[in-house]
Structure 1
Amino acid sequence: MHKYKLISKKGEGTFSEVLKAQSIKTSKSYAIKCMKNHFDSVDQVNNLREIQALRRLAGHPNIIKLHEVLYDEPTGRLALVFELMEMNLYEAIKGRRHYLPEQKVKQYMYEVLKALDHMHRNGIFHRDVKPENLLLLDDEIKLADLGSC
């Protein structure tokens, strides 16, 4: 974590909290998912289904990009460094007075289905697709939170 400057908290779930951070070296912003559980070894970390799935699916334009895995063996702390997205789909649509344009909905659905097809062709099933796990940046949508795979 010494490579990143923490900026703010983005959210929290049962097993992790997500922080916005900035690379000290490049000043680029990232989302860091800090796991609440502690891990005994690098092997245990490398065998996590979420990490294995993200590595296998790397490169797909509609699946969140894992930038780096940070593991501190003395403390057992684990953090996953991801590309930073603006918001999730739920945040984008809650409280709106108007529907999203039909063309935008079609585009998002097509991109999510492409991501799911890629996952299924690789023998991976998300098991937790919901608006909170669909992340937006500009005009792109990406499937995230593969912790239930």
Structure 2
Amino acid sequence: ARKLEGLWWADGGAYVVSSFAREESPVQHDGQVWFYDPRRRTLTLKVLLGVNPDPGKDGAFDGPDNITVSPYGGLIIAEDGEGVQHLFGATDDGRTYPLARNELNIGTADKPEFSEFTGPVFSPDGHTLFANIQEPGIMLAITGPWKRHRRQR
């Protein structure tokens, strides 16, 4: 891994985000999420993002950063990769899905640039997901609708 990013304590342990690793790693990837269980002293890979061949298009995600655990099951991850920027979810079995895409172009029409999502967190009642767009500094309140995913242990 190139560096550690987001961290979230839940489920009796810590979810840890690792940024991309390419040339420096025997397993090239565009991000990972690990779960550290202090009682068992284990570190388990939960999400592995393959190398994104075209970050300017929707599809594969890259550059996971901030993270939270959803009260509905799974993870919510803020993307800080190349190209388009998303909030995306990951199920307990590591499948990913888009939640939101940042359409606010802070670059130009010829050279678009999209700022990263940051700080996803659910309200205490679990009804609202708050997230931010780093530049120009916008907070979003996303109200769903949310549905519970079956947890796989």
Task: With the length of structure 1 as denominator, give the TM-score of the two structures.
Answer: 0.33
Task: With the length of structure 2 as denominator, give the TM-score of the two structures.
Answer: 0.32
Higher strand share: 2
Higher helix share: 1
Which structure's relative contact order is higher, taking Cα pairs within 8 Å and 6+ residues apart?
1
